[in-house]
């Protein structure tokens, strides 16, 4: 089993293939424009790497830094950003055209829970066999559900048929 190849966003040391670069030192000081081979040699003498930070500039800007430490800090920063993002899930509730009143109330309670947690909810009415002849029963059931949860969420996608299923999508009201 082969492992996925990780592609770096920054070119480092020998991967920098331009003749000249503008170099910034480890403390942020300008070292000027110099040949790439000279900049790499200077970085190695200091015990650092030469990292291309602005490849589109003319000449490209490179910084002398500890690349391992830089990658670690970048991954920590990305992790922090991902931690603060709220992901929304689409939950699904399935009904039948002849779902009983009490079962419908239970499903509506479940939809309210999903919406209060900030999840989108897909309400699906499944038709089997000859039930397709009475589509109005399915539309009546889904409209009843949508009417019940009108206060908790907004209808993102109105009821529509897709194959043997009738579905609608509800989104939570933004707080």
User: Residue 172 and residue 119: Cα distance in Å, rounded?
Assistant: 7
pTM score of the predicted model = 0.53
Query: How crowded is residue 75: how many other Cβ atoms within 10 Å of its Cβ?
Result: 10
Three-state DSSP class for residue 91:
strand
Cis link prior to 112 (omega < 30° from 0)?
Answer: no
pLDDT, tens only, 11-24: 888 888 899 999 99
The full set of domains in the chain, from first to last, is 13-81 (3.10.20.80), 90-172 (3.30.110.10)
User: Residue 125 and residue 168: Cα distance in Å, rounded?
Assistant: 9
Kindly give the interhelix angle for 135-148 and 101-116, rounded to the nearest 10 degrees.
50
pLDDT, tens only, 101-130: 999 999 999 999 999 988 999 999 999 989
pLDDT, tens only, 45-63: 999 999 998 888 888 999 9
Of 21-30, 31-40, 81-90, give the lowest mean pLDDT range: 81-90
For 139, list phi and psi in degrees, rounded to 5. -65, -40
């Amino acid at each position: 089993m082969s492992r996925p190849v990780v592609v770096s966003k920054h070119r480092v040391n020998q991967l920098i293939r331009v003749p000249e670069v503008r170099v910034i030192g480890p403390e942020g000081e300008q070292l000027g424009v110099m040949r790439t081979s000279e900049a790499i040699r200077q970085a190695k003498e200091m015990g650092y790497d030469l990292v291309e930070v602005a490849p589109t500039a003319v000449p490209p800007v490179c910084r002398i830094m500890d690349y391992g430490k830089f990658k670690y800090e970048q991954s920590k920063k990305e992790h922090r950003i991902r931690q603060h993002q709220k992901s929304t899930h689409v939950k699904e509730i399935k009904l039948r055209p002849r779902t009983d009143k009490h079962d419908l109330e239970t499903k509506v309670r479940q939809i309210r829970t999903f919406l209060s947690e900030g999840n989108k909810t897909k309400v699906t009415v499944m038709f089997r066999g000859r039930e397709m002849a009475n589509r109005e029963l399915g539309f009546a059931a889904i409209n009843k559900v949508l009417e019940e949860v009108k206060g908790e969420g907004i209808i993102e996608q109105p009821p529509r048929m897709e194959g043997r299923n009738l579905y609608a999508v509800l989104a939570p009201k933004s707080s």
